[in-house]
Amino acid sequence: MLDTHAPSTPRIGVRRLAGAIGAEITGVDAGGPLDQDVVTVIRAALLEHKVVFLRDQQLDYAQQVAFAERFGELTQGHPIFAPPQQKPFLREIDSAQGTRANHWHTDLTFVDRPPAIALLHAVVIPPVGGDTMWANAVAAYQALPAELRELADRLRVVHSNDSDYTDATVVNGRLDYVSTVYETEHPAVRVHPETGERALVLGGFAKRISGLSPSASRDVLRALQEYVTVPEHTVRWQWRVGDLAIWDNRATQHYAIYDYGTEHRRCERVTVAGDVPVGVDGRPAVVLRGDTSTYSGTGD
């Protein structure tokens, strides 16, 4: 793949960071007015590289929201936790609140419409540590042996907020996180609505495979997940204050490395609403427990 440059916007550069995933975009001020062709370049880079990074972005809440809205309608900040006052679209990822995400996951797959795109802005970064890794779930699917790929195409996986992810990542707020249990059955392989690519839908919220015993579910999920997180399918980002990461939540997993001890780490996330994942066979995800329609903007 070649780096992406738009002839009409020569100031914008897109530099690949790893072989399978990740690129850094230069020449964009996300806090200022942007022509549509700039947004088009960013979106194209995002679809190709799955996660893109913009250094040194000075964004307040209103600016971050305005920039994110260029990519689609926004969700509420989180389906479970209340947002900060007067910031309905914001989710604070703050170590001082006991929040960390040191487990491979795709955001919020326990709902039937996980976010399509997430935008995370670095506000406080520890002096050492606190990097985040992303993995390419499309490359993982493509790397599966043919027999395992055919199996994955047929599987349905139940995702829940009461999962291994919760135990590993939510510290002080665990009881709040599972006070209401949400479960959605997703296809193990979804067809990306924009690119047509097939991506594995797994990660820390994946609890069991429909129709399999608990032990068989664990074994199959583990075998598939290993293809997602092999180093060749990942990129690691070393944060600086002001950095903005944008990732395609339909095609990736990520892991926030918890190696900074008692140091403070705080990032702010807004998310673009997604659609219901659809499998290779055309079957959509199905809600099993809980109602998150208010979060996803689909209250009907």
Q: What is the pLDDT of residue 233?
A: 98
Q: Residue 224 — φ and ψ, nearest 5°?
A: -70, -40
Residue of 53, 70, 40, 71 lying closest to 121 (CA atoms): 53
Identify which has the larger pLDDT, 97 or 219.
219
Q: What is the pLDDT of residue 99?
A: 74
Task: Give whole-number Cα distances, 170 to 97, 120, 175, 225, in Å.
Answer: 10, 18, 9, 21
* pLDDT tens profile 88-115: 999 999 998 877 789 999 999 999 999 9
Q: Is the pLDDT of residue 7 over 70?
A: no
- Integer Cα distance of 123 and 258 in angstroms: 17
Residue type, 104: W
Q: Is the pLDDT of residue 300 over 50?
A: no
Q: What is the pLDDT of residue 299?
A: 46
Q: Is the pLDDT of residue 176 over 90?
A: no
- Per-residue pLDDT, averaged over 112-128, amounts to 98
Given a contact cutoff of 8 angstroms between Cβ atoms, the answer to whether 292 and 79 are in contact is: yes
Query: What is the average pLDDT score of the chain?
Result: 93
Q: What is the pLDDT of residue 169?
A: 74
Q: Is the pLDDT of residue 162 over 50?
A: yes
Q: What is the pLDDT of residue 273?
A: 97
How many CB atoms lie under 10 A from the CB of residue 280?
16
Mean pLDDT check: name the lowest of 6-15, 77-86, 114-123, 183-192: 6-15
Given a contact cutoff of 8 angstroms between Cβ atoms, the answer to whether 138 and 49 are in contact is: no
- Integer Cα distance of 244 and 260 in angstroms: 20
* pLDDT tens profile 225-278: 999 999 999 999 999 999 999 999 999 999 999 999 999 999 999 999 999 999
- Per-residue pLDDT, averaged over 145-163, amounts to 97
* pLDDT tens profile 15-62: 999 999 999 999 999 999 999 999 999 999 999 999 999 999 999 999
Annotated active-site positions, please? Answer: 105, 107, 254, 269
Q: Residue 219 — φ and ψ, nearest 5°?
A: -65, -45
Q: Which domains does the chain have, with CATH numbers?
A: 13-296 (3.60.130.10)
- For every residue of the chain, which 3-state class applies, written as one string? CCCCCECCECCCEEEECCCCCCEEEECCCCCCCCCHHHHHHHHHHHHHHCEEEECCCCCCHHHHHHHHHHHCCECCCCCCCCCCCCCCCCEEEEHHHCECCCCCECCCCCCCCCCCEEEEEEEECCCCCCCEEEEEHHHHHHHCCHHHHHHHHHCEEEEECCCHHHHHHECCCHHHHCCCCCEEEEECEEECCCCCCEEECCCCCEEEECCCCHHHHHHHHHHHHHHHCCHHHEEEECCCCCCEEEEECCCEEEEECCCCCCCCCEEEEEEECCCCCEECCCCECEEEECCCHHHHCCCC
